[in-house]
């Protein structure tokens, strides 16, 4: 049995993206809305939502994600307020898809999608080494070029 967790770099990258998107939204609101009260209220709402996401929700969510690979199945556990468990047997995997982002070795934003009979299981926010190892442990073919 082997446990896998989310990439360490993923949290920092997602925090930076949320801060940048929040600042761009505030800039757009300031540029296009002439009423100062609406701009201030909207900015406060965006800043509050960004702070809650960056400081509370994202760390809790990313720390709750755990992937367990046993001899017969892959188990995904996640969730902050509601806990979700999903499992698939190795024998039911038809094929795998690996989604890599630019500079994926630095950002940690990679996703492994396991396509099974009647559905799929996505394993987001993994290091490329973890993606390779899960593919090998699951007995799927491929993964050499990941």
pLDDT digits (tens, 9 = 90+) for 51-100: 999 999 999 999 999 999 999 999 999 999 999 999 999 999 999 999 99
Domain of 118? 1-146
Neighbours of 77 (CB within 10 A): 15
pLDDT at res. 138: 87
Query: Does the pLDDT of residue 140 top 80, yes or no?
Result: no
Average pLDDT on 96-121 reads 91
pLDDT at res. 131: 92
How confident is the prediction for the chain on average, in pLDDT? 92
pLDDT at res. 82: 95
Residue 13: pLDDT band (50, 70, 90) is very high
Residue 139: pLDDT band (50, 70, 90) is confident
Residue 142: pLDDT band (50, 70, 90) is low
* 100/113 Cα distance (integer angstroms): 11
The pTM of the full predicted model, rounded to 2 decimals, is: 0.86
Residue the block writes with tokens 């490329």: 128
Query: Which CATH number characterizes residue 1's domain?
Result: 2.30.29
* 56/66 Cα distance (integer angstroms): 18
Nearest to 111 by CA among 125, 129, 90, 93: 125
Average pLDDT on 125-142 reads 86
Query: Does the pLDDT of residue 141 top 80, yes or no?
Result: no
Query: Does the pLDDT of residue 47 top 90, yes or no?
Result: yes
Number of domains comprising the chain:
1
């Amino acid at each position: 049995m082997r446990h896998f967790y989310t990439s360490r770099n993923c949290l920092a990258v997602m925090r930076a993206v949320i801060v940048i998107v929040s600042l761009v939204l505030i800039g757009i609101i300031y540029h296009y809305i002439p009423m100062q009260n609406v701009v201030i209220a909207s900015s406060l709402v965006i800043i509050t939502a960004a702070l809650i996401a960056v400081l509370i929700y994202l760390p809790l969510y990313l720390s709750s994600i755990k992937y367990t690979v046993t001899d017969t199945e892959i188990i995904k556990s996640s969730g902050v307020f509601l806990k979700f468990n999903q499992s698939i047997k190795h024998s039911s995997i038809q094929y795998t898809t690996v989604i890599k982002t630019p500079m994926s070795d630095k950002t940690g934003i990679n996703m492994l999608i396991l396509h099974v009979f009647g559905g799929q299981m996505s394993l987001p926010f993994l290091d490329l080494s973890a993606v390779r190892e899960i593919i090998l442990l699951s007995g799927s073919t491929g993964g050499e070029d990941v």
